[in-house]
A and B are shown apart, each in its own frame.
Chain A
Amino acid sequence: MSAPATRDSFKSDSSGSPSTSVITVSGLGKTYATGHVALKDVSLDIRRGEIFALLGPNGAGKTTLISIICGLVNATAGKVEVAGYDIVADYRAARSRIGLVPQELTTDSFESVWATVSFSRGLFGRKANPAHIEKVLRSLSLWDKKDARIMTLSGGMKRRVLIAKALSHEPEVLFLDEPSAGVDVELRRDMWRLVRELRDEGVTIILTTHYLEEAEEMADRVGVIAKGELILVEEKATLMRKLGKKQLTVELTVPLSALPQALADFGLALSGDGTRLTYTYATNREGDDDGLSIAGLLAALSSEGIAFKDLHTEQSSLEDIFVSLVRRAP
């Protein structure tokens, strides 16, 4: 048995640039004994230092994917490397780099917070380091609960304990499986802050979530899984631009009875009372020089002598994009 590799001895990561992969998933498949196909030929690169959000409806395969990478489930096809180490052949080197916060609140009951977090550190082969454990507990507002038995804690506090356990051994990659499930607003904000701090320290974070708001707020890149297939991986900003829609609403000073012919190309919608014009356009058209931009519309309005008192724009959320993507999935 080989000694656990140290954090500094990366095999395949010499450049250290933020775009190097920290996790490489290739052709991963999982068919459960029941015949249920949970994952089909999933390939994915997670870049070092990014926050990656995995989105998908219930049963899409998000947790299966995470479980395979973390060693809880055996893959039936394909392979996974963590920092260049195969998760099966070099499981020690691979797993010692990973922290996992599971979806369910599965904690010990009778142990103290301090004991359970210290246990996790030992389990991952790291020497006791009370200073680090203290830092983790403080960052999760758990310090004053360190001697409390876990069973006496609220659900939100237990969630914090699970995060503390995952961070106890200073992982390079942190998996958060549905971190906001059943968590109040305050804790969610706390968690987002912590995730950003971790990212700033160089930790790669992979989260699955139902709260699209969370992905939208946090993620650098987004992957969408539906029915076991990874149907899309994209920079969040690009995704929003590509698939997002903007709506411009113009409040008119004088109601219009009908749309002037000169505005026909814009495909505008006029409200029933004639006081509001709505212009829907794809954000990826921004910069196209066909005169159908917002500036083009405003110029056309002014040349038609249509005065307006107010205008505002709305952008479709990741949620809207997600819903439309999943509907389209086979």
Chain B
Amino acid sequence: MNLQAIRAIYGFEMNRTRRTLGQSVVSPVLSTSLYFVVFGSAIGPRMAEVGGVPYGAFIVPGLMMLTLLTQSISNAAFAIYFPRFTGTIYELLSAPVSPFEIVAGYVGAAATKSTVLGIIILATASLFVPLEIRHPFWVLGFLVLTAVTFSLFGFIIGIWADGFERLQLIPMLVITPLTFLGGTFYSLDMLPPVWRTVTLFNPVVYLVSGFRWSFFGHSDVRVEVSFAMTLAFLAVCLFTVRWMFRTGYRLKS
């Protein structure tokens, strides 16, 4: 195992984060705060409690997931796409590193960053609404697992993308709608039965639901199912990355 290489890649990526601290941390915190101002403070008090939880607190897990998903994907996608775009990828390909080490470095850094962001958002949220966390370890567990899984997904997009437009395509056209329709701002009980069934095909529902369970102790779908679905998506991503490295897909000719 080339631990030095993992450290080098991880350190390089974390330095990039530090250098761009403004856009890395400030903008997600700002946009989350805006959500709280609008949905928490302005609209929230007019809403009924959801499952015994005040609406302002109810949306916290969903908002964290929204940021976690988009940030994980865009961080990891950009991290591997940019060297491909500038050509500095030559060094990575010529180095004595295995695909696992490359992924550990890039995905590790992206996941670290979005986990830290998630925690910052949680801290920001607690300034707006009183929060009581039932299962703090599960909160951390879902946070890290989701960060890793979607950083991996972002990494795949970064290898697949052949232009900056495509890099934005999946996050904009797929992830954002799925997150908004995945119960970020509502409970599935609020939907008509038909839509409730349709929604169950949305993977983000399971992430948000499981995460919400670890906060408040109840959820739309069973937490075991949520956990299993997240692991399943992680496995799909792992196999895809393995296939990409094995075939040299868009990395090597």
Contacts and interface: CB of A to CB of B under 8 A. Distances in A.
Q: Is the interface of A mostly helix, strand, loop or mixed?
A: loop
Contacts, number: 86
A72 B5 contact: no
A123 B1 contact: no
Given A33-B253, A74-B252, A122-B8, A100 B94 contact: yes
A204 interface: no
B5 A125 contact: yes
B93 A119 contact: no
Interface stretch (A108-116, A226-234, A320-328): A108-116
B15 interface: yes
Contacts of A33: 253
A85 to B, nearest CB: 10
A123 B9 contact: yes
Contact of A122 (B1, B4, B16, B87): B4
B93 to A, nearest CB: 5
A330 to B, nearest CB: 25
A71 to B, nearest CB: 5
Nearest to B9: A123
Given A3-B1, A106-B86, A124 B95 contact: yes
Contacts of B12: 111, 115, 119
Contact of B94 (A3, A98, A119, A122): A98
A141 to B, nearest CB: 22
A120 interface: yes
User: Is chain B's binding surface mostly helix, strand, loop or mixed?
Assistant: helix
B92 interface: yes
A196 interface: no
Contacts of A295: none
A96 interface: yes
Interface residues on A, range: 35 or more
Given A104-B87, A123-B9, A72 B94 contact: yes
A123 B5 contact: yes
Nearest to A105: B87
A241 interface: no
Contact of A73 (B2, B87, B88, B253): B253
A70 interface: yes
A91 B248 CA distance: 15
Contact of A1 (B1, B88, B90): B1
Interface string A58-80: 00000000000011111000000
Given A1-B98, A95-B94, A125 B2 contact: yes
A36 B11 CA distance: 40
B97 interface: yes
B94 A70 contact: yes
A106 B90 contact: yes
B19 interface: yes
A110 B8 CA distance: 16
B15 to A, nearest CB: 7
Contacts of A111: 12, 15
B97 A74 contact: no
A95 B88 contact: no
Contacts of B7: 122
B252 A123 contact: no
Contacts of B22: none
A312 interface: no
A107 interface: yes
Interface of B: 1-2, 4-5, 7-9, 11-12, 15-16, 19, 86-88, 90-98, 100, 248, 252-253
Interface of A: 1, 3-4, 32-33, 70-74, 91-96, 98, 100, 102, 104, 106-111, 115, 118-127, 165
14 contacts: A3-B1, A71-B93, A71-B94, A72-B90, A72-B252, A74-B248, A106-B87, A111-B15, A121-B8, A123-B9, A123-B95, A125-B95, A127-B4, A165-B91
Q: Which 8 A-B pairs have the closest CB atoms?
A: A122-B8, A106-B87, A92-B96, A95-B96, A96-B96, A70-B94, A125-B2, A123-B95
